[in-house]
Amino acid sequence: MAASKPRALAAAAASYLFIVSAAPTKTAVECTGSFEPVSAADYVAAINPGWNLGNTLDATPDEGSWNNPPVQATTFDDVKAAGFKSVRIPVTYTHHFTGESPDWTVDPDWLQRVEDVVDMALERDLYVITNVHHDSWEWADVTQPGANLTMIEEKIYRAWVQIGEKLGCKSSLVAFEPINEPPAETAEHGAELNKINELFLQALAESGGFNTQRVVTLVGGAMDSMKTSQWFEAPTGYDNPWAIQYHYYSPYDFIFSAWGKTILSTDDLAAIEADLTNIRNNFTDVPLVLGEFDASPLNTEPAARRRYTDLVVRTAAALNTAVVIWDNGLDHLDRETQTWKDPHSLSILMNAAEGTPNSFADATTDAYATSQSSSAYVFHKVGDAVEDYTVSLLLNGNTLDSIAVDGTDGETLAAGADYSVTADGGVLLTTEFLGRHVSAGAEAEPGSKANLTLSFSAGATAGVEIVQWDVPVLESSSSKAVAGADLLIPITFKGLKHPAAVKMLRSDGVYLFDDWTQYLGPLQAAYGTYNGQWNWLGDNLVLTSATVDAVITAGVDTTFTFDFFPRVPGNSVNYTLTV
């Protein structure tokens, strides 16, 4: 398997590699069973799609330290039942080294825990990719000024000898990945990571077992598709079947709800295809794994999210690239209740991975629009007359089969009386049908009224939520900024129970953050970023301490305009922080 990229480093490879001479020599692992070798191409084809056990064994300092309790075997049952073929098990070793240089001994209990979790997945016939994870920024960051490359190389080598010894006799379902998202800013950093890929392979060879026959997914700078394309050089002199793994969290503003972004623009849609195609064209003969990507139901708008999931997974599949969705434990699978946060996105992922066309709701794609629509919802404003309402669909060649109301009585809509298909493939919901779920009277309660599941001739189901909304009401509209803490602002939501985006404008007209956003559309200029700058918590809006502190630093009163869904003029509230 050869990369289409020139391999200038190949000849030099042998000379710069070294055996860590000071390392204690341990007998390489010998296995009793047999190993069924698999090519990297077959491996990658078989693991699609996969799921990440995020924020679990990779949490620091320990499993259970972040938002997930220690992993339970039943979680892998849920993952398997959903249709996933593989799991990526990220592991951080930083806080589990019990020895110093040159041995870098890893706590045997920790290695045992890693093996036990790997076995939980293997017992369910799931493929497993495991790695060395947040160590990339904890001690293995080659971009740090004065980084001790000798230490980094020695430590990564020793870590992999020990992991290799522990997992060396596992079946060919298990693949290894040297390190997660190693930072790289320059070609020199890229070259150092190429060396780390080779040291990793060398350590596997030393560790014994079946490790020289095992599939590996090698990495380039930050596992970024562009940096990998620029700087990755294939290792030579090793037998392991290898693929390249990269990660994709683009467009950044959409994925992270930055700068008021709640849609995918036509440019975004084109860029996603171009990005995935770019790395494929750089490595025409190398099996590729998109080992992390994630549009989370926590913060992304559902119509845009489902279209995103379809586009990424479908494009990857067409480019012979396996996908492994990131799940930090809050995003997709609720491990406690064993339910998936957005079953429609999940269904889209499963179908797109197989190349089956999906149908889903349409939404605004104009980055400069002054209001936005989404057919993942029927938005009915409190007090408005109930009228026929058309939901726009992107059918992608399918036809609508049926519409059902989720839950309870299992109401199925009658074609004609309740809905009809429009000439352009949309669905017109009749006044009669909608009148059973929303009401025109001023007394009608706002909130979520029903969820519809649309089924098609092929592919995933589509979800449409009927929401009766009004403008939310704040308990108070201003306060004096107090440094050092998040500010919670009590609110009565009247529709969906979270904001869409937040504009942050000082009274002197200056943007509180990121003046450059003036070049974005009207629903993004002067807007802040979810989580870092704003959030919500139950029936409270949240301005983070970073935002409050920015107001104090600016010394200017600042008005925060919280927008809600639907993003239409008037569906927002103002809150002013004074100094």
Task: Give me the residues that bind ligand NAG (CB under 6 A), please.
Answer: 101, 148, 150-151, 154, 226, 229-230, 278, 281-282, 448-451, 465, 505, 559, 561, 574
Q: 226 or 488, CB closer to ligand NAG?
A: 226
What stretches of 312-426 adopt beta strand conformation (E)?
A: 321-325, 333-334, 339-340, 360-361, 377-381, 389-391, 393-394, 400-405, 419-421
Query: What minimum distance in Å lies between the beta carbon of 298 and ligand NAG?
Result: 12
Cis omega (within 30 of 0) for bond into 251: yes
Q: How far apart are CA 505 and CA 556, in angstroms?
A: 10
DSSP secondary structure string for all residues of 338-368:
TEES-HHHHHHHHHHHTT----EE-B---TT
- Report, in Å, the least distance between residue 46 CB and ligand NAG: 27
Which residue number, 65 or 105, has a Cβ lying nearer to ligand NAG?
Answer: 105
Output 419 or 511, the one with its CB closest to ligand NAG. Answer: 511
Strands 333-334 and 339-340: antiparallel
Q: Give CA–CA dist 537/530, Å, rounded.
A: 12
| Minimum gap (Å) between residue 428 Cβ and ligand NAG | 21
Q: Return the number of the residue (97 or 456) whose C-beta is nearest ligand NAG.
A: 97
Our CA dihedral for 147, 148, 154, 159, rounded to 10 degrees, sits at -40
Smallest distance, Å, CB 411 to ligand NAG?
Answer: 12
Q: Give the nearer residue to ligand NAG in terms of CB position, either 390 or 478.
A: 478
Q: Which is nearer to ligand NAG, 250 or 451 (CB)?
A: 451
Q: Are 47 and 88 in contact (CB under 8 A)?
A: no
- When the beta carbons of 232 and 530 are compared against ligand NAG, the nearer one is 232
CB-based contact 268:241 (threshold 8 Å) = no
Nearer to ligand NAG, 21 or 34 (CB): 21
* Cβ at position 70, least distance to ligand NAG in Å: 28
How far is Cα of residue 553 from the mean position of the Cα atoms in its chain? 34
CB 174 to ligand NAG: min, Å: 29
Question: C-beta of 279: minimal distance to ligand NAG in Å?
Answer: 7
Q: CA 534, CA 550: separation in Å to the nearest integer? A: 13
Least distance in angstroms from the C-beta of 144 to ligand NAG: 12
Handedness of CA 79, 82, 88, 90 (dihedral sign): negative
Smaller CB separation from ligand NAG, 63 or 181: 181
Distance of alpha carbon 355 from alpha carbon 317, whole angstroms: 7
Smaller CB distance to ligand NAG: residue 190 or 209?
190
Distances from the Cα of 170 to the Cαs of 161, 167, 214, 298, 381, in angstroms? 15, 6, 9, 36, 58
DSSP 8-state code for residue 511: B
* Minimum gap (Å) between residue 169 Cβ and ligand NAG: 30
Contact, 462 vs 393, CB < 8 A? Answer: yes
- How buried is residue 248: exposed, middle or buried, by Cβ count under 10 Å (0-12/13-18/19+)? buried
Which C-beta is closer to ligand NAG: that of 109 or that of 445?
445
Output the six-digit token pair for 458. Answer: 């092929």
Residue whose CB is less far from ligand NAG, 148 or 236: 148
Taking the C-alpha atoms of residue 104 and residue 233, their distance in angstroms, rounded to an integer, is 28
d(CA 269, CA 250): 10
Structure tokens, 7:
């391999």
Number of other CB atoms surrounding residue 430 within 10 Å = 18
Single-letter amino acid code for the residue at 545: S
| 14 or 274: CB nearest ligand NAG | 274
Alpha helices of 416-556 — where are they, by DSSP H?
431-434, 545-554
CB of 331 to ligand NAG, least distance (A): 14
**Are the C-beta atoms of 454 and 399 separated by less than 8 Å?**
no
The angle subtended at Cα 521 by Cα 573 and Cα 530, nearest 5°, is 55
Q: Which of 415, 419, 416, 460 is nearest to 437 (CA)?
A: 419
Q: Which is nearer to ligand NAG, 421 or 505 (CB)?
A: 505
Minimal distance, residue 38 CB to ligand NAG, in Å: 28
Q: What are phi and psi of 252, to 5 degrees?
A: -50, -50
- 453 vs 414: CA distance, rounded Å: 14
CB of 450 to ligand NAG, least distance (A): 5
Residue 98 CB, nearest approach to ligand NAG (Å): 16
Q: Shortest gap between Cβ of 285 and ligand NAG (angstroms)?
A: 13
